[in-house]
Amino acid sequence: MPINPDIVGRALQPTAPYLVGREKIREFSRAVFATNPVNLDPAAAQAAGYADVVAPPTFPIVIQQLTLDQLLAEPDAGIDFSRVVHGDQRFSYTRPIVAGDELTGQLTVASVKTLGGNSMVTADTVVTDAAGEHVVTAISTLVVRAED
């Protein structure tokens, strides 16, 4: 089943606030081989001018994933999760995420394309902090492989 082209432009409900924990950042840092002291040590992060430990650049995927799950669950989207492959990923940052941030993500469907039986959906997730300020925009292109 192809992706429903009518979902282009659709904005989903913002996600519930996600409180970024210091230990979560440390856990994620270790998982992506981040060894910079600002990722792990609050004192080092504060010396570098941050309120607390700094998340690695790909940490916003944790918030974005919540919004992609919303998209896959849209009843009329027609996205067969078992055939989804991650095609492209991009993050555009206003600032890094730090422990203590309370983040909300809101996804908008940017485009739907069909190419040789495969469908592609590109979705932009805007991540904002508790003050409503922009933190990062995470952009994913998911490829839905054609049926065998």
Partner 1 sequence: MTGSIDILAVGDVVAEAAFPLTRDSLVRYAGASGDFNPIHYRDDVAASVGLPGVLAHGMLTMGLAVQPVSDWLGDPGRILDYQVRFTRPVVVDPQAGAEVLVVAKVGKLDAEAGQARIDLTVSVGEQTVLGKAQVLVRL
Point out which residues bind partner 1 (CB under 8 A): 24, 27-28, 30-36, 38-39, 48, 50, 54, 56-58, 61-62, 65, 82, 85-93, 95-96, 139
How near is the Cβ of 51 to partner 1 at its closest, in Å? 12
How near is the Cβ of 96 to partner 1 at its closest, in Å? 5
Beta-bridged to residue 84, according to DSSP, are 144
**In this complex, which beta carbon is closest to partner 1, that of residue 10 or of residue 143?**
143
Q: CA–CA separation, 113 vs 146, rounded Å?
A: 13
Extract the tokens encoding 70: 């919303």
How near is the Cβ of 135 to partner 1 at its closest, in Å? 12
> Residue 13 — φ and ψ, nearest 5°?
-65, 140
**In this complex, which beta carbon is closest to partner 1, that of residue 65 or of residue 106?**
65
**In this complex, which beta carbon is closest to partner 1, that of residue 41 or of residue 88?**
88
Please identify which residue in the block is written with the tokens 């983040």.
103
Q: CA–CA separation, 56 vs 45, rounded Å?
A: 12
State the distance between the two ends of the chain, measured CA to CA, in whole angstroms.
Answer: 12
**In this complex, which beta carbon is closest to partner 1, that of residue 4 or of residue 138?**
138
